[in-house]
Structure 1
Amino acid sequence: MTDPQPQQNQWKTLDKDLSRLVVLEQATAFLSRPLIAVGVALAFVAICALAAAMFTGGAPNSMIIIAAAAFGAYMALNIGANDVANNMGPAVGANALTMGGALIIAAVFETAGALIAGGDVVSTISGGIVAPSAVAEPHVFIWAMMAALIAASLWLNLATWLGAPVSTTHAIVGGVMGAGIVAAGFGAVDWGKMSQIAASWVISPILGGVVAAAFLAFIKGRINDVEDKISAARFWVPILIGIMAGTFATYLSIKGLKKVIDVSMGSALLLGLVIGLLSVLATRPIIRRQSEGMENRKKSLKALFGMPLVISAALLSFAHGANDVANAVGPLAAIVHAVADGGTAEKVQIPLWVMLIGAGGISFGLTLFGPKLIRMVGTEITKLNPMRAYCVALSAAITVIVASWLGLPVSSTHIAVGAVFGVGFYREWNAERKSRRSGIIKGKPVAPEERARRKLVRRAHVLSIGAAWVITVPLTALLSAGIFVVLNWLG
């Protein structure tokens, strides 16, 4: 009779080998995920280039349009990867949305905003940064737009990889400025406009932070810190939802629906007031019903802000798609116009196939590469809950409206991220104020040295994001200038 022990050892060895293979397969799959995303992105760029080839139909200089379509798709991918995090990050960080849910909502509403209300007409020289007459030669104009597109795309790609949310508008403006200076000299640049953009680096985040902190202070004072929290919530939450509804009605009227309906600021504000009042009346019974049986504590209140936060994130995505799609397809449309008509008109109509490239690229970029910055904005700067995230979303819309009314050039990216910082710094200031009075943090005595060490906002992100904002325009300008020289020499 043979001993079964060697057979058992044999199977034991085989099990160990199979386990090692499973671990190796898992590690390979984990490492290959980024490569899959890059592969899908490259496939999308190639499809856009092929689509451009079909629409140009072998026309003269069609290769220029095909190359511009590829770079326009690349730019749209980077806008989706970097810029959309500002809209969805707070909702994800507050656990009002899962990452998957945020990606789906953002993709749908960004695409809808881009196709329904985006890109009716776009200034070929990016809002008057460079005078069209200064680059009247079509071939010089084409290479300038191409250089701006490539430079802005490369910087956005690098910023996303570094985890820095930056302004796509500032990136394309810097690109146009750099190429324009090389093409037509410093005198061609509207330096007054550039000084306004530089001022917005300070104005945007401060305005966003102050408005968000003010709303958070109001919620804490009127709802969170009162004795009967549920009754206070039943009164104030519908009013806050009404403010949100009215604000977004005004926001979308003046910023996101220009193609569908053109309204003045006064009409937009009146429309917002009416919708806000109707929203208060409609949501008051809903909030009363939702709050029945809730415990009288802060944690219960968070549920009342969940759905309004999701809706605000969706509306911000719609408005973003309507406005920022032009950053991807504006230079592409200008190149198509210059090649087809041989001119550098002040404004051009964006063809539908160009809009589809922009809308599709933003959605693909968000889905493939967006989660990194969504997590950074939502969880890594400061801790958010539905109430704090709601203040961020509301601040973003209100600040854009106020800035438009005052004629201030502001960046939606800077406003949203500034609002997150504002919420965090307000919490930090409020906690320090309370601890100075009692020497207690969360029920525990804490020494002054320990209080000073405890920070609710990560300082590293303040410095890194601020630095990325400041260098966006000069860096893309230098990069674009170099690319223009190369393209002009090759052309």
Structure 2
Amino acid sequence: MIQMAKKMEKEAIKSSGIDFIRLGFALFFLVAVLTYSFLSSGSIPNNMFLAIAALFGAYMAMNIGANDVANNVGPAVGSKALTMGGAIIIAAIFEASGAFIAGGDVVKTIKKGIIDISAFGGNADPFIWAMMSALLAAALWLNFATMMKAPVSTTHSIVGGVMGAGIAAAGFTIVSWSTMGKIAASWIISPLLGGVIAAIFLYAIKKTIIFQNDKVAAARKWVPIFVAIMSWAFVTYLTIKGLKKIWPSIVDVLVFLPDEKKPSFLIASVFGLIVAGAVYIILKKTVANRATNLHNTRDSINLLFTVPLIFAAALLSFAHGANDVANAIGPLAAINDAVITGGISAQAGIPIWVMSVGALGIALGLALYGPKLIRTVGSEITELDQMRAFSVAIAAAITVIIASQLGLPVSSTHIALGGIFGVGFLREYLATTGPKEILVKQQTNIEDEKRVLKAYSSELKRLEDKADKTKADYERIVDLYKAIDHEEDKIKRTKKHIKSIEKVKYVKRDAIKKIIAAWVITVPASAVLSAAIFFMIKGIVL
């Protein structure tokens, strides 16, 4: 007992030491951003607002890294395709690369047009306070959600923050409620689409490979096809979502492309098909060579999906960095523009230092605090192996493509988690409906055993009521008691087996309830917090 207490004390000291180091790195980054932004804008009026906004932006970026990035690499870690350290390194590099390379030169200062900036009447001060409030509120909510191990949408967090501060500054009429309705719809659309597509792909893999007698031969035929489909989806997704902001520069280099401001679905699909064809040819030969060392087991086939999963995690991280960096730096870019120009514009240029705050903050937040959410996404919702994680990854890319073409609002966080729910519920469905014939047979056996038991009980009662029992009667009574015990035991065991099959739960219900609750309250929680911060800033300034 004493040794156990000493061991627990030692672990607690070690854990607190690591937490202190993490906090030290985080504070160093925040102080560095605050100092640089203040010193570099010394000649600008209201530069203190800009410095504090930069601090909030850095804090927001770190929380995006700690919470949202887990959705990109969590499945790969949960399936053991990547180690935690490997996942953090890959995600940090590609998140930062996506932000720097494809993060764009201009972002909309009001995320998704949820408020009307004309309501500020050209007055920059309340606009600056509103954007600062939105940043801090969204960051605080993300920080809380990460502590509670609840993966939430960073986009919805900043949307709620902007909405709450906007209402506090100019009333409810400032909000575009139709846009907010679309965002609310995404709470249902995103996880449902992600879950259905992930389940379809996992079932297709099971049907074509795992349920076959010769799994190795089936894998040689189908694995290159599935990975080629994934390649098409990711290249198309990356072209549409990740490269749209630098597309004019690409068109200038590749002059044969149509002169468009952003890539069309057709162009992105052609790019995807070219890459998919090359991947199929290469992988067909690679899988054929590896097939000689494979065993006819599920675990052996799973190994073929490891490398595609690593690429998927990298590409998802790149696209996420390109798109979601705006959640951290969009309001900061707006504040920077308002402070420098003294006015309010719908769009603002992004200085390199602002982009750096977003990119480096996301990477640092992931490295310091990302593992908690990565474990939640990767292993605490349902058990993932490589083919299940592969299905989740491909669902994320295809869902975004479908949604973008249909004009549906979706959240990458909700899509990824919906995909995990989808593969988990598919496992439950197959576990309960697969052995249906066995269940029917066992239920029939129970009825037969009950009839036998009833016959034994009737015979026993008749013999026990008999007045003049013979030696044979007593021997038969003893045999009947034994037979009745045996039949009751058989019925009990069969019922227990049926119950265990019918109650298979591969998705942890508590995790689902917590995550869905966090999704639903993200926008209102951020909004209320942002409004309170706005009034506090206004009270201090005035």
**What interval of TM-score do these two structures reach, taking the shorter chain for normalisation?**
over 0.9
- Of 445-454 and 481-490, the range deviating more from structure 2: 445-454
Counterparts of 1:18 and 1:472, CA distance in 2: 44
Residues 225-271 of structure 1, C-alpha deviations (whole Å, 9 max, x = no match): 01111111111111111111111111111100123223112211222
Deviations 1:362-381 (A, max 9, x none): 01100100001100100010
Alpha-carbon distance, 1:21 to partner:
9.0
Is the 1:138–1:338 contact (alpha carbons within 8 Å) kept by the matching residues of 2? yes
Please give the alpha-carbon distance, in whole angstroms, between the structure 2 residues aligned to 1:307 and 1:233: 15
Aligned to 1:482: 532
Aligned AA (1:238): P
| Corresponding residue for residue 447 of structure 2 | none
Quote the residue 1:55 is aligned against.
40
Give 2:520's aligned residue. 470
Counterpart of 2:78 in structure 1 is 93
Pair 1:134 & 2:184 matched: no
Aligned partner of 1:344 in structure 2 is 344
One-letter amino acid of the counterpart of residue 360, structure 1: L
Q: 1:43 aligns with which of 15, 21, 28?
A: 28
Aligned positions, number? 472
Q: Structure 2-normalised TM-score?
A: 0.84
- Tell me, yes or no, if the aligned pair for 1:312 and 1:393 is still in contact at 8 Å: yes
Pair 1:31-2:16 in alignment = yes
Distance 1:226 1:24, change over 3 A: closer
Q: State whether residues 34 and 55 of structure 2, in contact with CA within 8 Å, keep that contact through their aligned partners in structure 1.
A: yes
User: Identity rate of aligned residues, in percent?
Assistant: 53
Matched, 1:455 2:505: yes
Q: Which moved more, 1:46-55 or 1:200-209?
A: 46-55
**Matched residues in 2 for 1:268 and 1:486: separation?**
47
SS at match of 1:292: helix
2:173 paired with 1:173: no
User: 1:490, CA displacement in angstroms?
Assistant: 1.6
Per-residue CA deviation, residues 20-47 of structure 1 (Å, 9 max, x unaligned), is: 9998665422222212212211111101
Tell me the SS of whatever aligns to 2:26.
helix
Measured in 1, the distance between the counterparts of 2:9 and 2:168 equals: 52
Aligned equivalents of 1:192, 1:437: Cα separation in 2: 50
Q: Is the 8 A contact 1:381 1:461 kept in 2?
A: yes
- Aligned 1:287-298 pairs, distance under 5 A: 287-298=287-298
Is the alpha carbon distance of 1:188 and 1:27 closer, same or farther for their aligned partners in structure 2, counting shifts above 3 Å? closer
Partner of 1:281: 281
Say if 1:226 and 1:123 are closer, same or farther in 2 by CA, change over 3 A.
same
Query: Using the alignment, how far apart are the partners of 1:194 and 1:391 within structure 2?
Result: 30
Contact residue 73 and residue 328 of structure 1 kept, 8 A: yes
Structure 2 spans left out of the alignment, 5+ residues: 248-261, 441-492
1:358 partner letter: G
Aligned partners of 1:242 and 1:276 also within 8 Å: yes
Distance 1:161 1:207 in 2: 28
Residue 98 (structure 2) pairs with residue 113 (structure 1): yes
Greater CA drift, 226-235 or 290-299: 290-299
Alignment partner, residue 5 of structure 1: none
Contact kept? 1:74, 1:361, Cα under 8 Å = yes
Q: How does 1:138-157 map to 2 (within 5 A)?
A: 138-157=124-143
Query: What are structure 1's unaligned runs of at least 5 residues?
Result: 1-16
Q: Does the Cα contact within 8 Å between 1:94 and 1:378 map onto a contact in 2?
A: yes
Does the CA-based 8 Å contact 2:100-2:359 persist in structure 1? yes
Partner SS for 1:226: coil
Residue equivalent to 1:10: none
Q: CA RMSD in A?
A: 1.9
Q: In the aligned structure 2, how far is the partner of 1:77 from the partner of 1:162? A: 16
Q: Distance in 2 between matches of 1:452 and 1:461?
A: 21
Equivalent residue of 2:115, what SS?
A: coil
Change (3 A) 1:226 1:141: same
| Counterpart Cα distance in 2 of 1:351 and 1:309 | 34
2:392 pairs with 1:407? no
Structure 2 residue aligned with 1:192: 178
